[in-house]
């Protein structure tokens, strides 16, 4: 079941709702630069186990509206709040991958964890995606700037390069082509504007506001959000558990799909 939710004048976000009668709800927030379809191999399995799986296309991505401005973490966290309230969700598990994990953290701080019972951070681009003078982790701001330049110059080629380091295990050419297509569904401008947010946002002060049980699922071979980011999140979030994926890169939800689904189900209960 798919529908649109108005989050502000002229901006609607697309929501895919699978198994609406499921006993427990997981709200999936995708990473840059994809959309909710990246969780296909969760939506294929988890509803059969009784879970309600809801995927949101963030503004600028997938089937959602693509405004010119407003791609801060605050704005996108506000969008998530409107989705949760519009659907009348209660006691959900909020599951965010990469940039979606960062936005989920901001949601927990900005909205006091409203209606969230558990949090799953999947290869999250947090607590900070880029290096600082007091934070020697992640990629450099210059590397992100290069991605921004490449987005405006040759976005398909940029996405191909990004896809080459996304998965740590062999995937077929057909799968790579499908995954590449998810990125092409986004607005080029939104793709670049979200890179600015990834480069500049700092979530270290948000972590103490997370007061729900939190699972940190992170690939040991992640070349986009290094495993140390998962360790830092574990240190900064009370009542958290770090679940390493020994054979995965950034795409752990596919590299070790069976383990991923099992660990998520075990955590949610």
Token look-up 């401008």 returns: 189
Other CB atoms within 10 Å distance of the CB of residue 45: 18
CA 111 from chain center: how many Å? Answer: 18
CA atoms within 13 A on the CB side of 205: 3
Question: Which residues are catalytic, by number?
Answer: 98, 222, 250
Beta strands per DSSP E along the chain? 2-8, 11-18, 24-29, 51-56, 92-97, 116-122, 214-219, 240-245
| Ordered DSSP codes for 112-175 | TTTTEEEEEEES---SBSB-BTTB--SB-HHHHHHHHHHHHHHHHHHHHHHHHTT-SS---HHH
Q: Which residues contact 212 (CB under 8 A, 6 or more apart)?
A: 108, 113, 116, 117, 118, 119, 239
Give CA–CA dist 125/56, Å, rounded: 18
Coil, helix or strand for 195? helix
């Amino acid at each position: 079941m798919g529908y649109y939710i108005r989050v502000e004048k002229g901006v609607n976000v697309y929501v895919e709702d699978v198994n609406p009668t499921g006993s427990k709800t997981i709200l999936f927030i995708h990473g840059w630069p994809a959309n909710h379809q990246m969780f296909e191999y969760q939506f294929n399995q988890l509803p059969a186990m009784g879970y309600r799986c809801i995927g949101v296309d963030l503004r600028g991505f997938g089937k959602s509206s693509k405004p010119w401005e407003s791609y801060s973490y605050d704005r996108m966290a506000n969008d998530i709040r409107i989705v949760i309230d519009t659907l009348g969700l209660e006691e959900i598990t909020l599951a965010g991958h990469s940039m979606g994990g960062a936005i989920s953290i901001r949601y927990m701080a900005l909205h006091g964890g409203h209606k969230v019972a558990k949090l799953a951070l999947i290869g999250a681009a947090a607590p900070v995606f880029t290096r600082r003078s007091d934070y020697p982790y992640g990629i450099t701001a210059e590397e992100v700037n290069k991605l921004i330049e490449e987005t405006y110059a040759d976005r398909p080629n940029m996405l191909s390069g990004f896809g080459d380091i996304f998965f740590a295990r062999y995937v077929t050419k057909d799968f790579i082509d499908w995954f590449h297509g998810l990125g092409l569904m986004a607005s080029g401008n939104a793709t670049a504007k979200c890179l600015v947010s990834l480069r500049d946002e700092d979530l270290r002060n948000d972590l103490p506001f997370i007061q729900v049980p939190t699972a940190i699922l992170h690939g040991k071979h992640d070349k986009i959000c290094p495993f140390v980011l998962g360790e830092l999140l574990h240190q900064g979030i009370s009542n958290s558990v770090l679940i390493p994926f020994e054979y995965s890169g950034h795409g752990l939800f596919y590299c070790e799909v069976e383990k991923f689904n099992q660990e998520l189900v075990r955590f949610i209960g």
